């Protein structure tokens, strides 16, 4: 009988894409393996997981951390039903192992599986461990960590693996840097309003179009507004709601301006890309700032905190980074040292009970 592995990886792309990367590695090793991804109806998994060719089970789980009083009460009321549904899932599928990728979607299924004696593991994609993984730490066999800062907090259970990303990022060629430079700006799959506004304000202060080309992913809600602002500034740019070909966009970019979610940071380091990071100030547990600090401390990125974000400030950091001889290459070297292109292999080893 083929083994079953449950991967609880719902909610955001930062949780979902690493889970799919591990699923792909497990299936590469054994095409007969049954990988079931577990998420919630609130996340993007309902669209992404079927496209990737995996089974998906949705549990009625709501967030408990970083929410208001009303949503906290709703989450607590939904928790018993979510735990019961998770128990039924584990008993029905009898998995060989359960992997949680952090986030509220993974809590019930990992906890129930551990209490039922199933081998359980968690992946912490951020430099600062999140609420769910901190709660699950006593119950799991091992904690796969993307950053040394996180590994230390998990003690003997912590294993430094890196954060799994899609394979194409690790195969990108190094780009020679010369004007006109290419700037890639994005704020996640939904875009970032504050980053979009700052870029619009930055346009008069940036190098001229013959020195700097711009690709800007805005999210659907602001695409028209941002495109009109570029046109009004007489600034040629490629303004898109969503980037379907992110690997190619990374390959073309000399510098990336983005948020600092776990998946974005993993992709930047694996692809060895220099970046200006603007952490989302309201991210749970302030994890985006911790991620950006880790990259900045290593010399792989520059951080502009949201409280300091303005068009003039953003333009100054971009311009200085591009204008300083050798700066991009040094940042890329630092990013490459942080990158772990074999992260999916190492996490899959842990799932299978091997020492990575």
Pairing, β 238-240 against β 255-258: unpaired
Handedness of CA 145, 150, 151, 153 (dihedral sign): negative
Residue 219 DSSP code: -
pLDDT band, very low/low/confident/very high, at 175 (cuts 50, 70, 90) = very high
Quote the pLDDT of residue 201. Answer: 97
- Residues 6+ positions from 102 with CB-CB distance below 8 Å: 15, 122, 123, 124, 125, 126, 129, 130, 132, 133
Evaluate whether 4-163+342-351 and 169-338 have a shared fold: yes
**Nearest residue to 346 (alpha-carbon basis) of 201, 143, 202, 168:** 143
Quote the pLDDT of residue 122. Answer: 95
Quote the pLDDT of residue 69. Answer: 63
Q: What is the mean pLDDT of residues 79-102?
A: 84
pLDDT band, very low/low/confident/very high, at 74 (cuts 50, 70, 90) = low
- What is the Cα–Cα distance from 305 to 154, expressed in whole angstroms? 27
pLDDT for 61-72, tens place per residue? 655 555 556 655
Q: Which residue has the tokens 């095409």?
A: 31
Token pair of 292 as six digits? 């950006």
Instruction: Kindly tell me if the per-residue pLDDT of 129 is higher than 60.
Output: yes
Quote the pLDDT of residue 72. Answer: 53
Domain boundaries in the chain? 4-163+342-351, 169-338
Handedness of CA 135, 137, 139, 143 (dihedral sign): positive
**Nearest residue to 21 (alpha-carbon basis) of 300, 187, 266, 294:** 266
Query: Mean pLDDT, the chain, as a whole number?
Result: 88
Quote the pLDDT of residue 166. Answer: 76
Dihedrals phi, psi of 2, to nearest 5 degrees: -70, 140
* CB contact at 8 A, 262 and 285: no
Quote the pLDDT of residue 49. Answer: 83
130-134, 293-297, 300-304, 348-352 — which is least confidently predicted?
A: 130-134
Between 37 and 60, the more confident residue is 37
111-115, 254-258, 274-278 — which is least confidently predicted?
A: 111-115
* Inter-CA distances, 91 with 26, 194, 230, 283, Å: 22, 45, 55, 34
- Residues 6+ positions from 127 with CB-CB distance below 8 Å: 146, 147, 149, 150, 287, 290, 291, 293, 294
- What is the Cα–Cα distance from 250 to 272, expressed in whole angstroms? 10
Quote the pLDDT of residue 243. Answer: 86
CATH number for the domain formed by residue range(s) 169-338: 3.40.50.2000
Residue 172 DSSP code: P
Quote the pLDDT of residue 33. Answer: 95
pLDDT for 207-225, tens place per residue? 999 999 999 999 988 999 9
pLDDT for 147-172, tens place per residue? 888 899 999 999 999 999 877 888 89
pLDDT band, very low/low/confident/very high, at 263 (cuts 50, 70, 90) = confident
Question: Architecture of domain 4-163+342-351 in CATH?
Answer: 3-Layer(aba) Sandwich (3.40)
- What is the Cα–Cα distance from 56 to 272, expressed in whole angstroms? 32
* CB contact at 8 A, 338 and 267: no
């Amino acid at each position: 009988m083929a083994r079953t592995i449950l991967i609880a990886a719902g909610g955001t792309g930062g949780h979902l894409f690493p889970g799919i990367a591990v699923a792909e590695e497990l299936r590469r090793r054994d095409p007969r393996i049954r990988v079931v991804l577990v998420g919630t109806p609130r996340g993007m998994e309902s669209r992404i997981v079927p496209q990737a060719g995996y089974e998906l089970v949705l549990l009625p789980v709501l967030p408990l951390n970083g929410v208001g009083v009303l949503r906290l009460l709703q989450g607590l009321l939904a928790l018993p039903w979510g735990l019961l549904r998770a128990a039924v899932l584990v008993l029905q599928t009898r998995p060989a192992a359960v992997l949680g990728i952090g986030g509220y979607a993974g809590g019930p299924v990992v906890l129930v599986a551990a209490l039922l004696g199933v081998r359980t593991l968690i992946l912490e994609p951020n430099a600062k461990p999140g609420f769910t993984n901190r709660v699950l730490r006593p119950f799991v066999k091992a904690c796969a960590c993307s950053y040394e800062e996180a590994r230390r907090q998990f003690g003997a259970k912590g294993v430094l693996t890196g954060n799994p990303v899609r394979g194409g990022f690790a195969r990108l060629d190094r780009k020679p840097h010369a004007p006109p430079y290419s700037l890639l700006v994005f704020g996640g799959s939904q875009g970032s309003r504050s980053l979009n506004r700052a870029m619009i304000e930055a346009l008069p202060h940036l190098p001229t179009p013959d020195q700097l080309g711009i690709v800007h992913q805005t999210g659907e809600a602001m695409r028209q507004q941002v495109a009109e602002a570029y046109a009004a500034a007489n600034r040629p740019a490629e303004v898109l709601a969503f980037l379907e070909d992110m690997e190619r966009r990374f390959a073309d970019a000399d510098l990336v301006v983005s948020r600092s979610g776990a998946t974005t940071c993993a992709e930047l380091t694996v692809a060895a890309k220099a970046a200006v990071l603007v952490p989302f100030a309201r991210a749970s547990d302030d994890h985006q700032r911790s991620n950006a600090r880790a990259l900045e401390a290593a010399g792989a990125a520059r951080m502009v905190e949201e409280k300091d974000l303005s068009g003039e400030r953003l333009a100054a950091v971009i311009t200085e980074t591009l204008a300083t001889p050798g700066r991009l290459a040094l940042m890329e070297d630092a990013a490459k040292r942080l990158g772990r292109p074999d992260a999916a292999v190492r996490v899959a080893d842990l799932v299978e009970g091997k020492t990575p």
